[in-house]
Amino acid sequence: MKKVAAALLCAVFTSGCAHSVSGTAGASPLQELTPEQQRQVHVEDALRDADPCGLLDEAVVRGAGTVQQYGSAVQLPVCSALMVRPGGATTYVELSLLPSMLSDAALTGPETVDGVTVYRGAGADLARGTCERVFQLNVLQEQLKPPLASVRAGTVAGQDACPLADAVLGSAIDRMRSELPARDPTSPRQVALAVHDPCEVLDVLGTTAGGRVVDPESPPTPFDCVLFPNPNRVPGSEVTVSFTMSPVKENRPPVPAEPETVGDRCRWTSPMGEPIDVTRPGAVVDEFTRRLGHAGAVVTVHGPNCAAVARVADAANTAFG
């Protein structure tokens, strides 16, 4: 199997890839899921199929300076842009289809803009030069609350980033008026793996697996698949397949091709597909920023049993390698 730097293994596990599996287990195909589980899966499909860069209009962010970086290099559901103004001051914007750790303050000040619920939040944080807006995505599923997306803008301390955040927000609402923009697997601003469903491993495993776990009470996880590796679906035996992004590092140390035991868990990690570089030619950025912009997709499989993880990892290699 393919190899990846050992440092990346821990990164995936500390980024919140564990999931609640308290919901009823549902086997593939979708017809065997409850209506609530099917709606959850449809929302996850819509979020995975949507292109965050399709909502972040480059023409809008260009008004904040010369674009140095633009694309989905940090996280699959996030499109970010970095601009530099005359004089060297930098400004950034991040549009996330799966915002994490939204504060209570972020979900205040609700209003309706062209039929879309928008939360203006606490407004500009002048001490940090940042501003955040939250809005509901145009993902219509009966009896499900529309998922939230966020726009975060940042500039130098003491300046108000909210006008830029509002400009991006207005453009995003306009761009999703009819439907969310779809991902393009050939786009240089995102990795090809982003268009895949991690649950495609079940197509490879077939009847040797027990199907996916879908919890309608949990937030959508379009880039994670929790599944039972065996048909008997024993609680506690679940295996998780996760897609993440990781910066490309030269001279990466080799890691064992077989799953590794970490505590009471077992895991396997591998880069998949070609990396992308979202730094524009001729852009003047520091090495840390340049590395963040040069990243590739990573697949991680983890669970309590190494034999099961190895079998699912083989299926992941077949499905995505």
Structure tokens belonging to residue 320: 């995505």
Distance set, CA 284 to CA 65, 84, 94, 318 (Å) = 13, 9, 20, 39
Buried b (16+ CB within 10 A) or exposed e, 155-177: beeebbbbebbbbbbbbbbebbe
Strand partners, 152: 94, 132
Give the Cα separation of 80 and 93 in Å (integer).
6
pLDDT at 142: 57
Sites in the chain below the pLDDT cut of 70: 1-31, 140-144, 250-256
CB 129 within 8 A of CB 157: yes
Judging by beta carbons within 10 Å of its beta carbon (0-12, 13-18, 19+), is residue 39 exposed, middle or buried? Answer: middle
Cα distance between the two ends of the chain: 9
Q: What is the pLDDT of residues 209-230, one digit of tens each?
A: 999 999 988 889 999 999 999 9
Task: Assign 118 to helix, strand or coil.
Answer: strand
* Domain ranges (residues) in the chain: 6-47+188-320, 51-175
pLDDT at 259: 87
Structure tokens belonging to residue 20: 């609640």
Q: What is the pLDDT of residues 120-144, one digit of tens each?
A: 999 999 999 999 999 999 876 555 6
pLDDT at 143: 55
Structure tokens belonging to residue 80: 């970010």
pLDDT at 208: 93
pLDDT at 111: 94
